[in-house]
């Protein structure tokens, strides 16, 4: 395998609106990010993915871009962006932007021109159609609810949107669109970014011509996801993008790719794949199906099977990007640790398990201090369109307000979007102004200031993990070493090897409150990571792990 500059690096996701507010308007911004670069450097971060900061009406929090060449004034301006790039570079850090090109905002000039003249040049930038015999071209339901078709006022035409109606899909079949996208990407690389996280990318290829599918709900519609099964040929677009742009800049790219077929894995992230990496969403998908009320609670066994299957499936084909959460998911500690078992120790155990999987570890803002889901009490406390839609689906299905709010506190992505808890000061040290969204009331207990100098804190543990990952004595093995499950069948034990050329490391985590004794495969060597004060190994190479104890042992 050809070694690339990004292999063995540690990445961090910033969701700017809630990261750090520099000017006291209650909204995080670029200057706020600059102010935290030293913090991130000290933590051990190399690559920073910043969720969209482009000009946008923020209907979907920036995933609705009205100008790809400008910064949303709420977040700063282009000079500040350039300064952020320069300051990161000074610290040997890499900035990765979010590439949102399945759709733009309905406030983008392309779309405005398209609406003004649907049959003209810009009309072809989008999917615009008329009803036939009184029927829309297809019965697909958008990700955020309602039909994918929305009327263009003053005409008999409709445009297609896979997400919100304020996010019209760009027509990738039109070479002009692709040219515009590559031009824009090029422009950003020339400014000094190191790569892109590629948003919603599998949606750029539609199943054409549009057709109806069997409805999956009483509304007579079917989730737009259904068409992805039949949409063929996305690879041609992605190869073009790679050759035009990514290869030229030796970029780091990570795709938001769901549902790829086994046979496509190599095409996506193999040696010469479309992308450097893709997120492993298998744990995020665990237990999910249909509406919130149809989801199943994740058990440690389900979680283990999800990550292990992904690891085995990818093996040495390429690099997954491993996460426990992001801006589209609730907090990982609340999702993968059984209710009632949440503690600093269990948070560290979960961290150990995911961080040392083969791939690129990503940390989402606040994860490093163990931030938790937010006890929202009513729907008006939220801003997120997708949570509001899912909440409505629950209410429409007959769930009470209380039941629906309970589901929201478990599944809503807004849980991960509350301000980062920097300190126990007012507004959690995020801003001097009341933030745009509520602060998690637990900020007095969970905050960075409190954890910074406490060697037992979750934060200190993350720092330790990153240092271990980068320790030259283990870095090769932890980056390239083979993943192999250990005692996979043992309940509530999550254990695996990382096998390097001349080194074997064993990651062991006891995912329950009761102690658990495990026979080691061979005599234990050094314990190189431990989330508890001691380790109990007897003369017969049996290790007794305390509740939620996690260790890494060199064999």
Which is catalytic among the residues 64, 106, 169, 256?
256
For position 60 contacting ligand GLC by CB under 6 A, the verdict is yes
Q: Which of residues 112-171 bind ligand GLC (CB under 6 A)?
A: 163
Which is catalytic among the residues 60, 64, 199, 372?
199
Q: Which of residues 228-267 bind ligand GLC (CB under 6 A)?
A: 256
Q: Report which of 489, 408, 420, 412 is spatially closest to residue 449, judged by C-alpha positions.
A: 420
Alpha-carbon distance of 133 to 120, in angstroms, equals: 24
Q: Nearer to Ca ion by C-beta: 26 or 338? A: 26
Q: Closest distance between ligand GLC and the C-beta of residue 64, in Å?
A: 7
413-452 footprint of ligand GLC as x/- string (CB under 6 A): ----------------------------------------
Q: Closest distance between Ca ion and the C-beta of residue 77, in Å?
A: 12
Binding site for Ca ion (CB under 5 A): 21, 23, 25, 27, 29
For position 97 contacting ligand GLC by CB under 6 A, the verdict is no
Q: Nearer to Ca ion by C-beta: 25 or 476? A: 25
Q: Which of residues 175-204 bind ligand GLC (CB under 6 A)?
A: 199-200
For position 384 contacting ligand GLC by CB under 6 A, the verdict is no
Q: Closest distance between ligand GLC and the C-beta of residue 222, in Å?
A: 19
Active site residue 256: yes
Residue 100 binding: pick among Ca ion, ligand GLC, none (C-beta 5-8 Å cut-off by kind): ligand GLC
Sole binder of ligand GLC in the list 107, 328, 403, 476 (CB under 6 A): 328
Q: What is the dihedral of CA 215, 221, 224, 228, to 10 degrees?
A: 30
Q: Nearer to ligand GLC by C-beta: 128 or 200? A: 200
Q: Closest distance between Ca ion and the C-beta of residue 33, in Å?
A: 11
Alpha-carbon distance of 244 to 224, in angstroms, equals: 29
Rounded to 5 degrees, φ, ψ at 242 are: -65, -45
State CA 161 to chain mean position distance. 22
Residue 200 binding: pick among ligand GLC, Ca ion, none (C-beta 5-8 Å cut-off by kind): ligand GLC
Token digits of residue 365: 């803002």
Return all residues near 337 (Cβ < 8 A) that are at least 6 apart.
346, 347, 350
Cis amide leading into 299 (omega within 30) = no
Q: Which of residues 473-492 bind ligand GLC (CB under 6 A)?
A: none
DSSP-assigned letters across all residues of 149-209: EEE-TTSSEEEE-SS-TTSPBB-TTSHHHHHHHHHHHHHHHHHT--EEEETTGGGGS--SS
Q: Closest distance between ligand GLC and the C-beta of residue 268, in Å?
A: 17
Q: Nearer to Ca ion by C-beta: 21 or 329? A: 21
For position 100 contacting ligand GLC by CB under 6 A, the verdict is yes
Q: What is the dihedral of CA 155, 157, 160, 161, to 10 degrees?
A: 30
**Residues β-bridged to residue 319:** 277
By CB atoms closer than 10 A (0-12, 13-18, 19+), residue 384 is buried
Instruction: Give the residue closest to ligand GLC by C-beta.
Output: 63
For residue 401, the SS3 value is: helix
Token digits of residue 341: 């078992």
Q: Which of residues 61-80 bind ligand GLC (CB under 6 A)?
A: 63
For position 344 contacting ligand GLC by CB under 6 A, the verdict is no
For position 219 contacting ligand GLC by CB under 6 A, the verdict is no
Task: Report the residue count for the chain.
Answer: 555
Q: Strands 94-99 and 47-50, how do they pair?
A: parallel
Q: Closest distance between ligand GLC and the C-beta of residue 254, in Å?
A: 12
For position 462 contacting ligand GLC by CB under 6 A, the verdict is no
State CA 279 to chain mean position distance. 7
For position 107 contacting ligand GLC by CB under 6 A, the verdict is no
**Residues β-bridged to residue 14:** 50
Residue 329 binding: pick among Ca ion, ligand GLC, none (C-beta 5-8 Å cut-off by kind): none
Q: Closest distance between ligand GLC and the C-beta of residue 365, in Å?
A: 14
Alpha-carbon distance of 47 to 8, in angstroms, equals: 11
Q: Are 553 and 353 in contact (CB under 8 A)?
A: no
Alpha-carbon distance of 456 to 142, in angstroms, equals: 45
Q: Which residues are catalytic?
A: 199, 256
What residues make contact with ligand GLC under the rule CB under 6 A? 60, 63, 100, 163, 199-200, 256, 327-328
């Amino acid at each position: 395998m050809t070694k690339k500059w990004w292999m063995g690096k540690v990445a961090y996701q910033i969701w700017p609106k809630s990261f750090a507010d520099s000017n006291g308007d209650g909204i995080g911004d670029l200057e706020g990010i600059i102010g935290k670069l030293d913090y991130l450097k000290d933590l051990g971060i190399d690559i920073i993915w910043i969720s969209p900061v482009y000009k946008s009406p923020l209907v979907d929090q920036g995933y609705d871009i009205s100008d790809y060449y400008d910064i949303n004034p709420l977040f700063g301006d282009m000079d500040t962006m350039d300064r952020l790039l320069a300051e990161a570079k000074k610290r040997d850090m890499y900035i990765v932007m979010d590439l949102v090109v399945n759709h733009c905002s309905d406030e983008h000039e392309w779309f405005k021109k398209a609406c003004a003249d649907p049959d003209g040049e810009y009309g072809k930038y989008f999917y615009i159609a008329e009803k036939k015999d009184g029927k829309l071209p297809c019965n697909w339901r958008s990700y955020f609810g309602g039909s994918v078709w929305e009327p263009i006022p003053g005409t008999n035409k409709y445009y297609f949107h896979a997400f919100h109606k304020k996010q019209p899909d760009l027509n990738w079949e039109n070479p002009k669109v692709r040219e515009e996208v590559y031009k824009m990407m090029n422009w950003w690389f020339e400014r000094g970014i190191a790569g892109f996280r590629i948003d919603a990318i599998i949606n750029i290829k539609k199943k054409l011509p549009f057709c109806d599918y069997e409805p999956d709900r009483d509304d007579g519609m079917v989730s737009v996801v259904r068409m992805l099964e039949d949409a063929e040929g996305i690879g041609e677009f992605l190869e073009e993008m790679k050759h035009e742009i990514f290869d030229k800049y030796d970029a780091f790219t990570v795709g938001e790719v769901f549902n790829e077929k086994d046979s496509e894995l190599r095409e996506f992230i193999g040696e010469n794949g479309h992308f450097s990496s893709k997120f492993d969403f298998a744990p995020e998908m665990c237990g999910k199906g249909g509406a919130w009320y149809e989801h199943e609670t994740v058990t440690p066994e389900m979680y283990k099977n999800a990550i292990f299957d992904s690891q085995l499936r990818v093996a040495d084909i390429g690099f997954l990007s491993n996460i426990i959460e992001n801006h589209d998911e609730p907090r990982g500690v609340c999702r993968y640790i059984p209710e009632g078992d949440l503690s600093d120790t269990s948070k560290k155990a979960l961290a150990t398990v995911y961080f040392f999987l083969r791939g690129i570890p990503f940390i989402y803002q606040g994860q490093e201090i163990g931030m938790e889901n937010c006890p929202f009490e009513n729907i008006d406390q939220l801003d997120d369109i997708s949570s509001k839609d899912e909440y409505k689906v629950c209410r429409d299905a007959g769930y009470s307000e209380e039941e629906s709010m309970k589901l929201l506190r478990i599944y809503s992505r807004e849980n991960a979007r509350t301000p980062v808890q920097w300190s126990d000061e007012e507004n959690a040290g995020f801003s001097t102004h009341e933030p745009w969204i509520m602060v998690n009331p637990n900020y007095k207990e969970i905050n960075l200031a409190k954890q910074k100098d406490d060697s037992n804190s979750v934060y200190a543990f993350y720092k330790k993990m990153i240092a271990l990952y980068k320790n030259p004595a283990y870095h090769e093995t932890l980056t390239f070493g083979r993943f192999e499950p250990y005692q996979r069948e043992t309940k509530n034990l999550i254990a695996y090897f990382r096998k390097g050329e001349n080194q074997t490391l064993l990651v062991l985590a006891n995912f329950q409150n009761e102690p658990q004794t495990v026979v080691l495969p061979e005599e234990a060597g050094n314990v190189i990571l431990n989330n508890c004060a001691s380790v109990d190994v007897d003369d017969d190479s049996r290790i007794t792990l305390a509740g939620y104890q996690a260790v890494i042992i060199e064999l």
